[in-house]
Chain A
Amino acid sequence: MEILLFGVINSVTLSLTALGFTLVYGISRLPNFAHGALYVTSGYIVWLCVNTLGLNYVLGIVVGIVATAIIGALMYRLIILRIRGMQISEIIATYAIGLAIIEGLRWGGLRGSTFTLPSFLAGSFEIGGIAVDYQRLFVLGSGVVVFAALGLFVKYTKTGLALKAIAQDERAAMMLGIDSDRKALVSFALGSGLSAFAAVLILPLGSIVVETGYNVLIYSIAVSIIGGLGSWGGAIVASFIIGFAQILTEVFLSTQYQMVISLLAIIVTLLLKPSGIFGKQKELDDRV
């Protein structure tokens, strides 16, 4: 019971963090290696808003999400747009930006456990004899809401449909008058905003440390690869696999194995079904 409950919560947390990465990759085929950095940045912005500027917490969260989305958009517009299509440069540039942000924050004094965000809902309650705090439950709920909202957005709005079209076939979408670069900008902003959203939800459970940036990047990548790069449904299924695997290793082995497990999962996936669980359409594309 305990495993089931915390497994579900952990899985939803993972899929929330991975959503931004897999969204950007799915739409514009850009591997955003700065994903983890944006995650940490948004947490830090919220912390700055609340503790230094003395803003209201809710307002701080809004500012944090919007600011991160703008950072993502600027990153795309100023740097990535110019090197789009050169895959080596794309990888190096996003990785370099991510590193610069993370190490810059570390240098700027983001160390130790002094940087914490308060949780929205204090207290906890019991389900079948297990104490669950409200914050985790809130994460669970809002995760479901975000998935539903995103699904509706993609299905029923014009922008969402355009994004979907580009993800499926960029050339055909361009022939139908969809501006691929602008939509990629939107996807980048959306992805960054989503990672910020995940950050403000999840960071109150711990403290803001720069190492989270690397962890988030790695786990999101693991989830996206196992689910099939760019496939949203696959990402959610994969985060349940990894999430439960993590909780199980934590219970039966120790926490140190968590990263080993996710890397093993990646390797096994690459060996058995390289396109991931749900990555059917790209199977021909990615294989040699």
Chain B
Amino acid sequence: MSDGRDRKERIDRGIKVRSDGLYAVSSLREMLYLSGPRILLIAGLLLLPLLLDPFPYWKRVVNILCVYALLAIAFDFLANCVGLVCLGGSMFIGLGGYFAAVFNVHLHLPIYLSIPAAALAGAVIATLLILPCLSLRGVYFAIVTLMYPLLFTRVIEAFDLLGGSNGITGLDSFPGTNLENYSILLILLAVLFGLRRVLNDDIGLVMHAVKDNDQSVRASGIDVVGIKALAVFIASFIGCLGGAYLAHVYMWAGLSLFALDFSIIPIAAVTIGGGGVLFGAVVGCLILVPLSEFLRFFGTFRIVLYCTVLTAFIVLKSEGLMPYCTRKYEQFERWADA
């Protein structure tokens, strides 16, 4: 703290002000300023498989990255837009994966039907399972979602359900690696921009209101539990989609789909990337997932690392990278006399 003579002030950049209203379409520069980051993200993601063509291993990492990004988006959506902290993201992955396996192996659905069907079925089941705690505020949601993945693991292991600890093998793989890559990339982009649109719509406003003041939502005659259930359904659909996809990539659905990584990496990614803006989740995954591949040697120590980084970010830089970058992009800072 200085003695108060100087302070930093933030002022919007001229181009930001100009491109706020209708004048955004006045020149190419303004339009580029607005659409630049989006184009960068979309083009970057779509070009990634092409750039990584000589490294087939890293192309697979891109797939896994997209699955983590889907989970992180789901977590971010639930936590920062609706106010429900989900500590068990692996539940969605597991449900989606196992449903995909059952649909594909036992019911012989083709791959392009089994993935959406599994996502839908998993989302319905997850929503029904979570429903009892939705009428409560506070930590109940976190507690219940923390318990489910552990419970599923125990139950499957103990009763030898669904292949027990061996899992279900023999799922169809994707017809080609390009399809494998681009299907998940397109799903990710569609989810990202679609969910953003949902949040900017009326229903998104209601969801934010549920987080901030649920009594006012109720006073407006809107069913809070229904809105929460809808949000959980959307989030679990996204998560289960990732899980079903992952099961088809591995051609296997087993207990490791309920692994802790699927719960903690999305949380860490959202914290690092910045909560509340869905892009932050993707940015966080772009940083964390390649890092975790480099650290594969360390085994479970990686989880310790994530948790440490996560805690450090929460305490020291709670806004995250994405809002920080947005601020730098839209505003400049200067010292001013107080």
Contacts and interface: CB of A to CB of B under 8 A. Distances in A.
Contacts of A221: 143, 146-147
Interface stretch (A90-98, A112-120, A139-147): A90-98
Contacts of A86: 318
B301 interface: yes
Interface stretch (A155-163, A188-196, A237-245, A266-274): A266-274
Tell which of B80, B137, B147 has the most Cβ of chain A within 10 Å: B147
Contact of B139 (A78, A229, A266): A229
A286 B140 CA distance: 9
B85 interface: yes
B13 interface: no
B142 interface: yes
B144 interface: yes
Interface residues of A, number: 42
A229 B214 CA distance: 21
A104 B301 contact: yes
A56 interface: no
A260 B271 CA distance: 32
A5 B311 CA distance: 44
B111 to A, nearest CB: 33
Interface in B22-74: none
B299 interface: yes
Contact of A274 (B135, B155, B224): B135
A256 B303 contact: no
Given A87-B138, A88-B80, A89-B318, A107 B304 contact: yes
Contact of B136 (A92, A263, A270): A270
Contacts of B199: none
B219 to A, nearest CB: 12
Interface in B135-189: 135-140, 142-144, 146-148, 150-151, 154-155, 158-159
A7 interface: no
Nearest to A79: B315
Interface in A242-287: 254, 256, 259-260, 263, 266-267, 270-271, 274, 285-287
B300 interface: yes
Contacts of B264: 96, 99
Nearest to A97: B311
B322 interface: no
Contacts of B318: 83, 86, 89
B267 interface: yes
Contact of B310 (A33, A96, A229, A287): A96
B218 interface: yes
Contact of A92 (B144, B225, B271): B271
A216 B249 CA distance: 35
B79 interface: yes
B307 interface: yes
B70 to A, nearest CB: 19
A100 interface: yes
Nearest to A255: B158
A33 to B, nearest CB: 7
Given A103-B301, A104-B304, A88 B146 contact: no
A227 interface: no
A256 B152 CA distance: 12
Contact of A100 (B83, B267, B303): B303
B132 A270 contact: yes
Contacts of A99: 260, 264, 303-304, 307
Contact of A97 (B135, B148, B307): B307
B226 to A, nearest CB: 11
Tell which of B137, B143, B154, B300 has the most Cβ of chain A within 10 Å: B143
A267 B142 CA distance: 14
A274 B142 CA distance: 15
B224 A288 contact: yes
Contacts of B304: 99-100, 103-104, 107
A184 interface: no
Nearest to A270: B132
B139 A92 contact: no
Contacts of B307: 96-97, 99-100, 103
B326 to A, nearest CB: 20
A185 interface: no
Contacts of A96: 264, 267-268, 306-308, 310-311, 314
Nearest to B267: A92
A79 B132 contact: no
B140 A89 contact: no
Interface in B102-136: 132-133, 135-136
B100 interface: no
Interface string A23-37: 000000001010000
Contacts of A270: 132-133, 135-136, 140, 144
Nearest to B217: A288
Interface in A196-252: 214, 217-218, 221, 225, 229
A171 interface: no
A214 B132 contact: no
Nearest to A95: B87
A182 interface: no
Contact of A103 (B139, B147, B300, B315): B300
Interface in A42-90: 78-79, 82-83, 86-89
Interface of A: 31, 33, 78-79, 82-83, 86-89, 91-93, 95-97, 99-100, 103-104, 106-107, 214, 217-218, 221, 225, 229, 254, 256, 259-260, 263, 266-267, 270-271, 274, 285-288
Which 3 residue pairs of A and B lie closest in terms of their CB atoms, listed nearest first?
A: A256-B158, A100-B307, A96-B307
6 contacts: A88-B79, A99-B260, A107-B304, A259-B155, A267-B132, A286-B140
